[in-house]
Chain A
Amino acid sequence: MKAKSIKGKSTEAIEAALASSMTDGFKPNLAIVFLSIKQDRQGIVDVLQSKGIDVLGATSSGEFIDGHQDEESIAILLLDLSPKHYTILFEDIGDRVLQDAATQMARDALQKFSNPAFILCTTSLMEDGGILEGETLIRSLEKVVGPGSNIFGGMAGDDLSFTGTYVFTNGRSTKYGMAALLLDADKISLQGLAISGWKPIGVFRTVTKSEANLIYTIDGKPALEMYLRFLGSDISQANDQLNFFESLGRHYPFQIERDNREPLMCNPMGFDWEKGALICESNVPQGSRFRFSMPPDFDIKDTLEAKARELKGDTDADALLIFSCVGRLAALGPMAQQENEALQQVWNVPMAGFYCYGEYGRAVDGKHEFHSTTNSWVALKEK
């Protein structure tokens, strides 16, 4: 597999970058595209398609490649990979339940490869203000393809405008669905890890009343009021949603206890002023136990780097993808980019990635999960 990463702030810029990447005889047939909703998705797909390139794409909330990070831009990882080793899968969920669409995708995957691996991009924002149930999605895929399978990826973003997120391939695009680059894991090896770094603080609390992704009461007290009071927020208006997410929600997620697994990070996305409820990114069952959490320490980059080196050992790779939570950008500022750069330097291969609204990836305990707040990366290597 050969790889190159390109970037640009317009379709023309990408067209030029693509052309120049091919001057040395590089002939990519696959592109993993992360771009702002402000960019011309169709235009980009057309440019790539005209060169016979297959596309897996997702909208984003900040894009980066090795040595460069930008907003409202386009980042692309170009690959020259034998078509025998991959395929692109696409599911528009439409009127189906998530489980059905996921099961369909998993079955198609098994049809294609007996040992499939997913680079998975899904939409995130739902009509009701919540986020696609990533956890349910992973469990549904796992049920068909088995719990050991590799699933890495991210949930699409929309520059924090909360107007809609998209995934797309050649000729298809959806606001509610999933697209995957399906790899033959017998031919391509994948190594990766998702690390959060958010630290629990304070006592364990219990969700005493909730409904889907709405939390009404915590330890018997009104949830919204408690969250605001505990984090010392001065939000006092129903229409402060964006301010809420920017200044609180994405910095201070809950760490929800899970049996035999790492805690699930869950960011409050907004609130329902009338009901005094918090709107969370995922469903929070009544009775869940959780702790507040604080953003990572400044040395999180070193931790990430050390873990990556440990995992890498003396293997190498052809390309690197990074799915970093948009919350990291807020909590780590310029250090979020440093983190990505450090990972790229560990592997020293072309890299592309984006700031997303949720991550798929391998947890430290080895299980493939849906995450939040993490930096989830995966290094690809043709065997």
Chain B
Amino acid sequence: MNQQLQSVLDFIRHNENITEEEKNHLVALVKKANSDLEITEFKLERTEKVKRTTAILLEETIAELEQKRKAIEETNAALSKSLADLKATQAQLIQSEKMASLGELTAGIAHEIQNPLNFVNNFSEVSNELIDEMNEEMEKGDLEEAREIAADLKQNLEKINHHGKRADAIVKGMLQHSRASSGQKEPTDLNVLCDEYLRLSYHGLRAKDNAFNAVLNTDFDTSIGKINIVPQDIGRVVLNLLTNAFYAVNEKKKQRPEDYEPSVSIRTKKIGNKVEIRVEDNGNGMPESVKDKIFQPFFTTKPTGQGTGLGLSMSYDIVTKGHGGTLKLETKNGEGSTFIVEVPDV
């Protein structure tokens, strides 16, 4: 018992001026006070102890969490590195995809160059003969006739030059396609670009499979004029959409050789301050399950080894991120698809 309280207790017990009843009452009160004191003392002591322990425990926990945070940070750094590596790999893949699509184009390009080359060859042979004729006329002294032949010659040379330039443009275009995109927007004739890729891709496919035939429809809005785009990039988008469309109609033709006429259209249209490119096919379209995934990188339904599944995801990025436009799809399973590119004309 507390010493002071004990003294009080002794005092009460030995005091003769208080009645027995009062004594008992007082003794009980003192005892109660003592027990309350003991409890309070205990509480105080335990509070101190628990406080100390809690502080240490929390400190240690914090130290431990700090360690875990560091570990997470390190993991994070490692992950960032892997991500960067992955991005580099992806960039390489995209480059190889470009080269692959160039391969697909080669046949079309060859076909396209063949035409001007034929002209160049024919006209240069004819011109060669015309020069002989002209020489004869000059020896005869018929200058009038010689002048006429010279005029024809000039025309021929102009034609040769025209077709030479055409071949030059095709080769330049091909080089441009394989080069990494400059990323620079420049005034571009969209209709010419679409027309060129339509022919290149169609002939490309026909060169591989000459049984293939399709009705090609074009509808170019001439009011578009030149618009500011990155030509290589939009070219790649158009090429991707067309390649997909041809692939789709070709597949359907294989399934139904008799009563099906494949057709692919490309249309351009100016709508307010936007320009729209529609690539439409009457292939098999897509079910919802495929539709949901086509813009994901590496999604493909082509047999393994035949498609990278990068075409649409790259096209999507070019249109949305590169040009602030939209790439939408309308499709009906079994009936065909229309891809709609919309870019602002700024």
Contacts and interface: CB of A to CB of B under 8 A. Distances in A.
Interface string B42-76: 11001000101111111011001100000000000
Contacts of B54: 201, 294
Given A202-B61, A203-B61, A229-B60, A333 B42 contact: yes
B85 interface: no
A231 B49 CA distance: 10
Interface in B12-66: 35, 38-39, 42-43, 46, 50, 52-58, 60-61, 64-65
A230 B65 contact: no
A292 interface: yes
Contacts of B65: 203
A294 B57 CA distance: 10
A294 B39 contact: no
A154 interface: no
B46 A232 contact: no
A335 interface: yes
Contacts of A334: 35, 38-39, 42
A93 to B, nearest CB: 38
A230 B46 CA distance: 18
Interface residues of A, number: 17
A231 B42 CA distance: 20
A145 interface: no
A252 interface: yes
Interface residues of B, number: 18
A326 interface: no
Nearest to A201: B57
A379 B55 CA distance: 40
Which 6 A-B residue pairs are closest in the complex by CB-CB distance? A232-B56, A333-B42, A202-B61, A230-B60, A334-B39, A230-B57
Given A232-B53, A333-B42, 16 more contacts: A203-B64, A230-B60, A230-B61, A231-B56, A231-B57, A232-B55, A294-B50, A295-B46, A295-B50, A331-B46, A333-B43, A334-B35, A335-B39, A335-B42, A335-B43, A338-B39
Contacts of A229: 60
Contacts of B53: 231-232, 252, 294
A348 to B, nearest CB: 21
Contacts of B38: 334
Interface in A268-315: 292, 294-295, 298
Nearest to A297: B50
Interface in B63-100: 64-65
A229 B57 CA distance: 8
B57 A202 contact: yes
Interface of B: 35, 38-39, 42-43, 46, 50, 52-58, 60-61, 64-65
Which residue among B50, B53, B55 has the maximum number of chain A CB atoms within 10 Å of its CB?
B53
A231 B57 CA distance: 6
A258 to B, nearest CB: 23
Contacts of B56: 230-232
A368 to B, nearest CB: 31
A285 B119 CA distance: 88
A40 B61 CA distance: 49
Given A202-B61, A232-B56, A298 B43 contact: yes
Contacts of A230: 56-57, 60-61
A278 to B, nearest CB: 16
A255 B250 CA distance: 68
Interface string A199-229: 0011100000000000000000000000001
30 contacts: A201-B54, A202-B57, A202-B58, A202-B61, A203-B64, A203-B65, A229-B60, A230-B56, A230-B57, A230-B61, A231-B53, A231-B56, A231-B57, A232-B52, A232-B55, A232-B56, A232-B57, A292-B57, A294-B50, A294-B54, A295-B50, A298-B43, A331-B46, A333-B42, A333-B43, A333-B46, A334-B35, A334-B38, A335-B42, A335-B43
Nearest to B55: A232
B154 to A, nearest CB: 91
Interface in A309-336: 331, 333-335
Contacts of A231: 53, 56-57
A202 B56 CA distance: 11
A242 to B, nearest CB: 18
B340 to A, nearest CB: 53
Contacts of B43: 298, 333, 335
B57 A333 contact: no
Nearest to B43: A298
A294 B60 CA distance: 15
A287 B55 CA distance: 27
B61 to A, nearest CB: 5
